């Protein structure tokens, strides 16, 4: 359990990729803070399960990723109650699919706030704690859309390109402090975020559900298979190891070959 005594905070972690990250860290003995929306009883079940797995502590924090003061308070709570802030995973994300001239402004604002700005605020608040210890791991969930574009996703693609830029910039700033900053760019992972965008894509493109899955979502992935959340989490776990200390400022694709084309 190589993360025993360390604390990981994962945003957007009540389901999907975020929960897979949390479970992977807990399995290596870390204290974990999960964050996100969902049914209170289901969240408590997951929180208790993380503690049972890790033998350490697990907290749930309902910080709203559009509110910088709540983000900062979550970081300080982790430091106070769990003793440190060693790993953060900026994973919270939402999606909306529409042509730019039909894209609701409020949806654009929300996507930029949650998918991009929250990562900046989390990183800003966490780095002083990591500098104080001389060790830290910052992992940003980007997307294949940090490297390539798809139609009708202007806000999301914009945010994910921004995440890649943020990753490289902060990596350079903290390179001499024992802190690494990397991003992981998954292709289509079968999560609620992906499932929930299917109806919008059906409407926008005039397709059936099966056509969206096979001809849109998996069309770009040569493997013709969804990436699994556990595969993404395994890569994040490796980036936390001491063997990965020289890896920083990198953008790792895990996309079934999508961006190789």
- Other CB atoms within a 10 A radius of the CB of residue 221 amount to 19
Q: Verify whether residue 60 is a known catalytic residue.
A: no
| Residue 63 DSSP label | -
Q: CA 143 to CA 164: how far, in whole Å?
A: 9
Edge-to-edge strand order for the sheet containing 87-90? Answer: 58-61, 31-35, 7-10, 87-90, 136-141, 179-186, 251-254
Q: At what angle do helices 118-133 and 154-173 cross, to 10 degrees?
A: 20
Check 21, 60, 108, 156 and give the catalytic one: 156
Q: CA 139 to CA 150: how far, in whole Å?
A: 24
Contacts of 108 (CB under 8 A, 6+ apart): 96, 154, 155
CB 73 within 8 A of CB 63: yes
> What are the catalytic residues?
156
């Amino acid at each position: 359990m190589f993360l025993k005594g360390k604390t990981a905070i994962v945003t957007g972690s009540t389901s999907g990729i975020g929960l897979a990250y949390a479970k992977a860290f807990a399995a290596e003995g870390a204290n974990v803070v999960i964050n996100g929306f969902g049914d209170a009883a289901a969240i408590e079940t997951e929180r208790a399960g993380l503690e049972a797995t890790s033998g350490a502590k697990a907290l749930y924090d309902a910080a709203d990723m559009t509110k910088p003061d709540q983000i900062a308070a979550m970081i300080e709570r982790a430091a106070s109650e769990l003793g440190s802030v060693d790993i953060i995973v900026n994973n919270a994300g939402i999606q909306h699919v529409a042509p730019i001239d039909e894209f609701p402004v409020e949806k654009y604002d929300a996507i930029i706030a949650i998918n991009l700005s929250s990562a900046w605020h989390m990183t800003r608040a966490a780095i002083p704690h990591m500098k104080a210890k001389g060790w830290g791991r910052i992992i940003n969930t980007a997307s294949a859309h940090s490297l390539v574009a798809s139609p009708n996703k202007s806000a999301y693609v914009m945010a994910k390109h921004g995440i890649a830029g943020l990753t490289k910039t902060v990596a350079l700033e903290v390179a001499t402090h024992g802190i690494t900053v990397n991003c992981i760019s998954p292709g289509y992972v079968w999560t609620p975020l992906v499932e929930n965008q299917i109806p919008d894509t059906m409407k926008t493109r005039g397709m059936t559900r099966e056509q969206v899955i096979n001809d849109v979502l998996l069309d770009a992935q040569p493997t013709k298979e969804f990436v699994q959340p556990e595969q993404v989490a395994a890569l994040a776990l490796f980036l936390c190891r001491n063997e990965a200390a020289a890896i920083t400022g990198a953008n790792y694709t895990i996309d079934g070959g999508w961006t190789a084309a």
